[in-house]
Structure 1
Amino acid sequence: MDNSALLFQLASKGLFVGLLFGVIVWSSRDRNKYRKLVWVTVFLTFDVIMFGAFTRLTDSGLGCPDWPGCYGHSNPIQAMEHIRAAEALMPDGPVTVMKAWIEMIHRYLAMGIGVLIIAILVISWRFWMRSGKTIPQFSPWFPLALFFFVCLQGAFGAWTVTMKLQPIIVTIHLLLGMVLLAMLTWVGARQNTHVPVAIEGKKLRLPAFLSLLVLTMQIALGGWVSTNYAALACPDLPLCHGAVMPQMDFEHGFTLWRSLGMTAAGDYLPFDALIAIHWTHRMFALLVVAVMGWTAWRATRIAGMEKVGRALLGALALQIVIGLSTVSLEWPLALAVAHNGCAALLVLLTVMVNYKAKIAGQTGDLSTADRIDSPTLAASND
């Protein structure tokens, strides 16, 4: 299949996914369809993060070893001859029919996010211009940043495949997915009607930012654990191989630019390096729990932030339980995927805490839900 036909067929599949979720927006009873579109995109991005974790944890990242298609085709059905041949050659290898479908479905869903972000950009620009550039919630600059960011994420998705799951590339791909979720959540928060937050909420700005910072670092460490297959390097709890400080190789473990399972010099990665990766993620989790737990508890004490504070505390507790269970139960697939999903939920809730801390003390502002039907915008739509 020539490249133009391949790209057209893949774009059609991404457009189909986008339109499918667009129907959900259009058929909803929410008067503010733009807000609904943003939050539906948040939902899809959250799902793609979890499905991406499923793709990675089932070793399906190379289920189709080329990009953007599968053996030059837009779906595994057309590439079945090549997939069957690769599977026959290596039955336990990276290419199987199931893994090919998992990888391509992940790509289709990711393209659907791109379609929805383009829709958000176009609609925001249209409303921004028709409102006389008077409604900040419709400013197109943030959606424009989302568009360029999702293109960057797509590039790292391609490099994940073409560079054969190089750990640093896969980890950055995961991080960018989480950042995209955070950006979309911020856009969604701008569209919501918020309960007024007490002026004391301003004091939470620094703790909320620190919580987001340490959470991002922990997700990066978790991605490094996953992409280096170090999840079972420490099989016991609370110690690691019966010691607080087991023998570890930080130099090789945290050399960033190297091939999967190899050192920078091309030798096999020593097991002590995997222990160092896992142990660091586990120890840093203690700091994350302390900082985020303190921030969430303080949020529950501030009027207008109680609900999001309690939700963040609950999600943090759930993540602790899932993290401990994945190790003690030897990393079952369902719990491993849930661990990634709960990390995404923590990102979403921490962004909401940051947003509420930002608007603390503000009163008298109309929400987008109120302004969208204002005379100025309504007249411009006639």
Structure 2
Amino acid sequence: MTAYRRLVFLAWFLTLDLIMFGAFVRLTDSGLGCPDWPGCYGHFSPLGAHASIRQALEAMPYGPVSAFQAWVEMIHRYAGAFLGMLIIAFTVLAWRLRHALARSPALATAVLGLVCLQGAFGAWTVTHRLMPLVVTTHLVLGMSLLAMMTWLAAREKSHDPVPAALASGRGWMMLGLTVLFLQLALGGWVSTNYAALACMDFPTCHGVWMPPMNFQEGFSMLRSLGQQASGDPISQDALTAIHWTHRNFALVVLALLGVLAWRWRAVPGLRGPARLLLALLALQLFTGLTTIFFQWPLLIAVMHNGGAAGLVLVGTTLLWRLAQAGKLPSGSRRQDA
């Protein structure tokens, strides 16, 4: 059982790292650093594709291909493949040790299925040339994988018991996570459409509270990057609608999760993650505003993505602990093998 738990925690940590690195891939425009899949111009690494990369760079000096971008993209793929192997390993152990672990291997199996789907969307991100719907779905699936991995890891870690009276808080936390994932999808839509700087002022946008916006065009799903469904270039009004929606829906997320975290900040079994949730909400507000005022600096943008992943992690931890309200602490009924 010890091996199973170590694999779960290692895979959980790597999932978080991959989400952060995936943001770096997207924000450095490295998604097409190797424009084929799974290799790089038919080679296992950019080393073998050196001639092809140089040719692409000479043809388009400011295009999506360079040696740096190729390595960034391929390192992300290598790490994703390693994560997949870890998940296969602990899923096999979950089935073999299901009686000793005293729990169903269904969740581990679902994680394996999700990581396979995530890998498929990673390939489609390249083959569909960074189509916003595909890239945004890839991001949301990555966050869903992190949530499921956090649930798996939380089952293997002990914590102080949560009062039984707080069992009803599970519904509120589920609502909070639902709202959070809607905001993650909106954030992904902003990033994949390069709409982060569509509004350069705050709290107004273009100096007014309600700027000209085209929601129909901005939230048209089936279209290529930078284009309308008709093939014409996407308009500024559409990009403004995308940015404005994400910015204002953030207020809903801050209010709901902030109230829940504040209420639970002193509750046994919840105080740690609740206080961390408050800190992460403050970080997201800071990095979101800094992104606007400093015009999308890479470090701040990656931190903003990392903060979103942190919110998923902490929110899932709170949901797990609330689901155990009134029960014995996790891990207290069995000993490590």
TM-score range, shorter chain: over 0.9
2:85 corresponds to which of 115, 119, 125: 115
**Structure 1 partner of 2:305:** 340
Measure how far apart 1:365 and its partner are: 7.0
Residue 264 of structure 1 is matched in structure 2 by: 229
Report the CA distance between 1:363 and its aligned residue: 2.9
1:371 paired residue number: 335
> Partner residue of 1:105?
75
Measure, in 1, the Cα distance between the counterparts of 2:125 and 2:269.
42
Counterpart of 1:111, as a letter, is: A
1:48 and 2:48 are equivalent in the alignment:
no
Matches of 1:363 and 1:48 in 2, distance apart? 33
Residue type of the partner of 2:50? Answer: M
Structure 2 letter corresponding to 1:177:
G
Cα displacement (A) at 1:142 = 1.0
**2:25–2:31 contact (8 Å) kept in structure 1:** yes
Deviation at 1:298, TM superposition (A): 1.7
Q: Residue 8 of structure 1 aligns with which residue?
A: none
Of the three residues 52, 55, 59, the one matched with 1:85 is 55
User: Which residue number in structure 2 is paired with residue 241 of structure 1?
Assistant: 206
SS at match of 2:287: helix
Report the TM-score when normalising by structure 2: 0.97
The alignment-based identity, stated in percent, is 53
- 1:157-186 CA-to-partner distances (Å, cap 9, x unmatched) read 000000000000000000000000000000
- C-alpha displacement at 1:194, in angstroms? 1.8
Among candidates 312, 326, 331, match of residue 296 of structure 2: 331
Written as runs of structure 1 = structure 2, the 5 A alignment for 1:257-336 is 257-336=222-301
Amino acid at match of 2:188: G
The TM-score, its normalising length taken from structure 1, stands at 0.86
Structure 1 residue 135 corresponds to structure 2 residue 102: yes
CA contact (8 A) 1:200 1:302 kept: no
Q: Does the alignment pair 1:215 with 2:198?
A: no
- The alignment partner of 1:304 has SS state of coil
Asked if the contact 1:204/1:299 (under 8 Å) is kept, the reply is: no
Q: Deviations over 1:245-279 (max 9, x none)?
A: 10101010000110001111111101100000000
C-alpha separation in 2, matches of 1:106 and 1:366: 34
Deviations 1:186-216 (Å, cap 9, x if unpaired)? 0011111121111122121111111101110
- Would you say the 8 A contact 1:191–1:367 is kept in 2? no
- Rounded to whole Å, the distance in 1 between the matches of 2:286 and 2:5 is 33
**Residue 364 of structure 1, CA deviation:** 7.3
Cα distance in structure 2, aligned partners of 1:257 and 1:367: 50
Stretches of structure 1 lacking an aligned partner (at least 5 in a row):
1-30, 374-382
Displacement of 1:302 in angstroms is: 2.3
Judge conservation of contact 2:195–2:239 (CA < 8 Å) in 1: yes
- The verdict on how the C-alpha distance between 1:181 and 1:83 changes in structure 2, with shifts beyond 3 A counting, is same
Unaligned runs of 5+ in 2: none
Output the amino acid matched with 1:279: W
Equivalent position of 1:21 in the other structure: none
Counterpart of 1:356 (choices 298, 312, 321) is: 321
Please tell me the residue identity of whatever aligns with 2:245: T
Corresponding residue of 1:68: 38
Residue number in structure 2 paired with 1:379 = none
RMSD, aligned CA:
1.3
Q: Does 1:182 align with 2:152?
A: no
**Is the 1:35–1:192 Cα contact (8 Å) retained in structure 2?**
no
3-state SS of 2:284 partner:
helix
Q: Note if 1:192 corresponds to 2:162.
A: no
Q: How does 1:154-165 map to 2 (within 5 A)?
A: 154-165=119-130
Query: Aligned equivalents of 2:239 and 2:257: distance in 1?
Result: 27
Distance of 2:290 and 2:12 partners within structure 1? 28
SS at match of 2:97: helix
- Which residue number corresponds to residue 219 of structure 2? 254
* Cα distance in structure 2, aligned partners of 1:244 and 1:38: 47
Task: Show the counterpart of 2:191.
Answer: 226
- Cα distance in 2 for partners of 1:185, 1:366 equals 15
One-letter identity of the residue aligned with 1:207:
W
The CA distance in 1 between the partners of 2:255 and 2:266, in whole Å, is 17
State whether residues 192 and 367 of structure 1, in contact with CA within 8 Å, keep that contact through their aligned partners in structure 2: no
Structure 1 position 95 matched with structure 2 position 59:
no
- How far is 1:140 from its partner? 1.5
Farther off after superposition, 239-248 or 201-210: 201-210
- 8 A contact 1:83–1:96 mirrored in 2: yes
Q: Partner letter of residue 281 of structure 2?
A: L
Task: Kindly indicate whether the alpha-carbon contact (under 8 Å) linking 1:201 and 1:356 is maintained by their aligned counterparts in 2.
Answer: no
Name the CA distance, whole Å, in 2 between partners of 1:157 and 1:232. Answer: 26
